[in-house]
Structure formats: structure tokens, C-alpha cells
Structure 1
Amino acid sequence: MSETRNIDAQTLADRYVAVWHETDEHRRRDAIAALWVPDGQHYVGERAARGYEALEARIRGSHEKTSGMTATGSALSRMPGCCVTSSPFYWEMLPADSETVLATGLEILTVDAEGRILVDYQFVPARP
């Protein structure tokens, strides 16, 4: 059984949110590869994405719909498992020029011992 590396939950949440804001397609692909395992999964409602290409399409589509918005993430306590860690966090989406919250969500990320996302469950809407 491998030992889970000490993963800072807020850093993981910040990196996750940054991927969803990256506008440069090459940097976004690199960030996805650095954050998810090659067959990483993302679920929201009935939609699912698996692997880098599907994750890129999902993130690009979301970015196109929410252009001009900003999001912030607030990490919650981690729940250690045998060789994976669950790292949940809430996020809020706001217009870049306003304090008005337009959307909220809850992410539950299951990560490997290196801190890369295995499975990402997104729940929208959510409130802390």
C-alpha cells in the first residue's frame, strides 16, 4: 500500500479553479495533464468526461459559456483513505466586476498519492 503524499487542499482547489479559467489552449492542456491522471473522470449531473481530451472539451465549453466570470474555491477538511484522498471544496462564480454570486458548486475530488485527480464530482448548485 502506497503512502499518500501530504497534499494541501487549498492549493489543490486553487489549481483546479485556475484550470477552468485558463484561456490559452496549450497551457490549459498542460494544466489538465498536471492536475488529472490520464484517464481522470469528471461528473456533473448526467454529464461525464473521461481522459484528457474529454476533460479539455468540458472545460473549454464551460469557459466559453462563462467568459468574463471569476471563480474562487474554499477547501474543506481532507478525508484520508488508504492510498487516495478526498479533497472537497466549495466554489463561487461571480462577474469579474461584481460581488454578486451567480453560481455555487461543491467539488469532491478523489486524488492519488501524487495529488492528481482520479475522479471529480461536481454538484451544482451548492452553498457552504
Structure 2
Amino acid sequence: MSPLNGQVIGQAHYATRALLERATGPLGLSFGQVIALNALAAGPVERARLVHRITSTLKVDEPAVRTVIDALVDADLARVDGVVPHMRLTDTGHATQARVAEAVAGITARLYGDIAPAEADVAARVLTLITERANDELAGVA
């Protein structure tokens, strides 16, 4: 058994991400666009909040996220409404996000389906703690 460290966690992330990118590639979506579509699936989000959410999730700069969002608008997957700009999915965006959600559900079932719930709970708690610690260090809190 490998020790729990960043390399093991990273390998799991990149392997899972590769499966997701393979599944969403035919839709013409980048990983960042998938993240943005999923964020918008819950409903309209103020554009600035969406940018912050994606920059903090992916650890990328704002111009990169704005490019992702602009690509979603250009592809008619999302639109901007209101005086305080809110992003929302278009009908095409909802249909595309549903296909992404279906792909994610399949990947999740195949990769996590036979893991005992108690083990999955422990793994989730440990990974959440590691993420919080890393985010605190990035923010200069630690």
C-alpha cells in the first residue's frame, strides 16, 4: 500500500480527470468549462462569484477563468443577465451539463461504487482536511 501523500492524491486526481476529459471531450468542453457548467447548474450566479469560485477551485488566475466563461457564452452554453451581471445556463447549457452529470455519475459509480461507505467517509474527511490545510497555506493563514 502506498503512503498517503500528495503524489498518491495527485495520481488519483489526474487519472480521474483524464476519464472525465475523455467523456466530455466529444462535447468540446475543457476541464474548466465543466467546472463552470457544474457551478451554474444550481442556478444563476453573480459573475464575480463564479470567477472567484473557479479561481479558488482550480488555483488559476482570473484572466484564465474569464476566458473559460467567455467561451461558454460564445458557445451559447451560458449567458449574462442583469445590471449586476449574473451568469446562467442557456437551454443548450442545461442539456450539455446534464450530459456532463451523466458522465460523472458513470465514472463515480465505476471508481467508487464498491468502496465501503465507512471507508469512503474517512477518505472524504482526510482529503477535505488536506484541502483546507493547503488552502490555508496558500492564503498565508498557516
Compare CA radii of gyration and give the structure with the larger one: 2
TM-score when scaled to structure 1?
0.34
Higher helix share: 2
TM-score when scaled to structure 2?
0.31
Q: Which has the higher contact order (CA 8 A, sep 6+)?
A: 1
